């Protein structure tokens, strides 16, 4: 049996100065029913949804 997991890795680097406002969790909240941050991606597959739900959010 093959088990699957959804893994996402994003790396962005910006040079900022002291005027940069650090964001918090509220800045990354998704609107209800969206499958991506901007709401433009198609719905996730059942297998992908199961993989996401299998990983606990700490």
Top pLDDT among 32 and 54 is at 54
**Taking the complete model, does pTM exceed 0.75, yes or no?**
no
- The size of the chain, in residues, is 58
pLDDT tens-place string over residues 5-31: 666 666 777 888 999 888 888 877 777
Q: Is pLDDT of 2 > 80? A: no
pLDDT of residue 25: 82
Spatial separation of the C-alpha atoms in residues 52 and 43, rounded to whole Å:
13
pLDDT given at position 3? 67
Count of CA atoms in the C-beta half-sphere (13 A) of 47: 4
The 8 Å CB, 24+ separation contacts for 47-50 are: 47/4, 48/6
Residues 6+ apart with CB under 8 A from 43: 35
Dihedral-angle region of residue 30 (phi above 0 means left; psi in -120 to 50 means alpha; beta otherwise): beta
Residue 52 is predicted with a pLDDT of 79
């Amino acid at each position: 049996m093959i088990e699957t997991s959804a893994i996402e890795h994003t790396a962005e680097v910006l040079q900022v100065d002291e005027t940069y406002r650090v964001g918090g969790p509220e800045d990354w909240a998704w609107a209800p029913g969206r499958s991506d941050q901007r709401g433009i991606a198609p719905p996730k597959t059942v297998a992908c949804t199961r993989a996401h739900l299998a990983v606990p959010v700490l």
